[in-house]
Amino acid sequence: MKKIAFLILGLLILSGCGLYTDIEGQIEQTTPKITLKSSPSTKRKPSRTDFKWNGLVASAEHPAPQDFLNYQTIVQVKHPEKIQIAVQKKVKLGIMESAYLSDMVLTMIPESGEDVTEISLKELESGVWQFQVPSKPGKYMYILKEFYGVGLEIGYYVTYYFGLEVTN
């Protein structure tokens, strides 16, 4: 009887510890924390657009900068300000399996919608990157795409966007 009870208890524990199936929870782990270097308490939560995660795919058209910047609350920053982006380098898929950040691409689109520019990110420490805001005052939409891989394979990505208004 004790063996049967132990076996049932073991099965219950193992079944509860299977693959992490909450896709929203997995994707939420990848949400970047965006702050101003001079005031880390000023946080900007980006909006998620499209993703491919654990077999699920959601595609979204990126809004035009004017549409995005007219309807989103954006953070005002001074010209010489630096922005920090903190991203999880390891995302748990289950007890035994994890996905690792393999690449990030940050693109900037000015309010005019012209001159789309890829922005280089400088890694300050593990999981924290930084970039300089543009010198020209105006509103800018940023698109951050994070790529995650399991082993040598790149299998997941999540895309976020956020806005900044640069002042003198």
pTM over 0.75: yes
52 touches 157 (CB < 8 A): yes
pLDDT (tens digit, 9 = 90+) per residue, 15-45?
444 444 577 888 888 999 999 888 888 888 8
pLDDT (tens digit, 9 = 90+) per residue, 76-134?
888 888 999 999 999 988 778 889 999 999 999 999 988 899 999 999 998 999 999 99
9 three-class SS = helix
80 touches 59 (CB < 8 A): no
How many CA atoms within 13 Å lie on the side-chain side of 144? 24
141 touches 108 (CB < 8 A): yes
Q: Are strands 75-78 and 153-167 parallel, antiparallel or unpaired?
A: parallel
